[in-house]
Amino acid sequence: MTYECILTERHGDGANGMLQTGLIRLNRPKQMNALNDQLMDELGQALLAFDADATIGCIVVTGNEKAFAAGADIAAMKDYDFQHTFRTEYISRNWETMRRVRKPVIAAVGGVALGGGCEVAMMCDIIIAADNAKFGQPEITIGVVPGAGGTQRLPRAIGKAKAMDMVLTNRWINAQQAEAWGLVSRVVPADKLMDEAFTVAGQINSFGQISVMAAKEAVNRAFESSLADGLWYERRLFHAMFGTDDQREGMAAFLEKRPPKFQRP
Ligand code: CO8
């Protein structure tokens, strides 16, 4: 598959049945990786292709050292009108693809993650930030509001007060604040960003794939359900794990004091 607005590669040699990591690099450097329709289409296709590839365990999405992404492409959308966008879902039809991905997706964020860029990062399961990263929702400054989760995922991540501050005043936060506020899970020096992302992905890849996918599903459920429903769902998934070879192998290996050999494709 040839893409124009993203680059893809596989990371890891896949030796001894080790799962590999799929890397997707947003690649419109002249536009600070502004997210146009083509880029979002390609991102969705690449995500689904890696998700369907049995040799891939995790996906890393990144940009470049200046920009993860500076938001939706303002030049591309400036002349849109409501009737056209509503009818065709132009600009929104391809922003939800990430939700269909069942394997973990890690955002490795260097530079700016603004507007739709911050929203794409928040769609991922884990955000690792370079120490030069900046997060913001500047839509208010160009006469619109966030449109891909900024008003929904941000308050869930950092709470209403801070989310309101960012969305209403165009307050940007740096990597350290983002970590302290709970938006990102790790901050590393910029030149170590990809090493860290691949280390985290490699660690996840070493575990049983079914339990990894089930764990992702269960955590995401916490944002979609009541506590009682979520706890019920988690318990059912926990029970279901006892139908897997990986559960038998994982527990046997622990008791036999040896590394587990989880199922591989
Ligand atoms: N769209 C289009 N082009 C952009 C964007 C963008 N979002 N951001 C930067 N660029 C372009 C600039 O126009 C410029 O192009 P050129 O060289 O041709 O003039 C080039 O990238 C470099 O940008 P700057 O010269 O401005 O570089 P600076 O280092 O001075 O500033 C910034 C970098 C801070 C990133 C600045 O460019 C900026 O503020 N960008 C806009 C940020 C913004 O407002 N983002 C929000 C956009 S709206 C949005 O994301 C809504 C998402 C909703 C999705 C809904 C889907 C359903």
What's the mean pLDDT in 232-250? 98
145 touches ligand 1 (CB under 6 Å): no
- In the structure encoding, which two tokens stand for residue 193, read together? 């960003």
Known catalytic residue at 72: yes
CB under 8 Å to 191, separation ≥6 — which residues?
Answer: none
Q: Is residue 90's pLDDT more than 80?
A: no
Which secondary structure element, helix H or strand E, spans residue 84, and what is its range?
Answer: helix 82-88
Average confidence score pLDDT of the chain: 96
Categorize the per-residue pLDDT at 224 as very low, low, confident or very high, splitting at 50, 70 and 90: very high
Known catalytic residue at 119: yes
116 touches ligand 1 (CB under 6 Å): yes
Catalytic option among 44, 71, 116, 149:
116
Ligand 1 centroid to residue 192 C-alpha, Å: 26
Categorize the per-residue pLDDT at 173 as very low, low, confident or very high, splitting at 50, 70 and 90: very high
Mutate to test the pocket of ligand 1, among 31, 32, 171 (most ligand atoms within 8 A of CB): 32
What atom in ligand 1 is closest to the CA of residue 117?
A: 50
95 touches ligand 1 (CB under 6 Å): yes
Ligand 1 centroid to residue 63 C-alpha, Å: 14
* pLDDT value of position 183: 98
29-46 pLDDT, tens digit per residue, is 999 999 999 999 999 999
Q: Is residue 86's pLDDT more than 90?
A: no
Known catalytic residue at 116: yes
Ligand 1 centroid to residue 138 C-alpha, Å: 10
Q: Is residue 92's pLDDT more than 90?
A: no
Ligand 1 centroid to residue 4 C-alpha, Å: 19
Ligand 1 centroid to residue 27 C-alpha, Å: 14
Q: Which residue has the higher pLDDT, 90 or 147?
A: 147
Ligand 1 centroid to residue 85 C-alpha, Å: 21
What's the mean pLDDT in 77-103? 88
CB under 8 Å to 112, separation ≥6 — which residues?
Answer: 32, 66, 67, 68, 69, 70, 133, 134, 136
What ipTM, to 2 d.p.?
Answer: 0.98
- In the structure encoding, which two tokens stand for residue 243, read together? 């139908």
- In the structure encoding, which two tokens stand for residue 143, read together? 């006469």
Q: Which residue has the higher pLDDT, 88 or 158?
A: 158
Instruction: Answer whether 164's CB lies under 8 Å from 90's CB.
Output: no
What's the mean pLDDT in 72-95? 87
Which segment of 89-93, 160-164, 207-211 scores lowest on mean pLDDT? Answer: 89-93
What's the mean pLDDT in 134-145? 98
Instruction: Answer whether 120's CB lies under 8 Å from 106's CB.
Output: no
39 touches ligand 1 (CB under 6 Å): no
Tracing tokens 């690449």 back to the chain, one arrives at 46
Catalytic option among 72, 108, 113, 201:
72
Catalytic option among 42, 119, 179, 196:
119
147 touches ligand 1 (CB under 6 Å): yes
Known catalytic residue at 139: yes
Overall pTM surpassing 0.90 (yes/no): yes
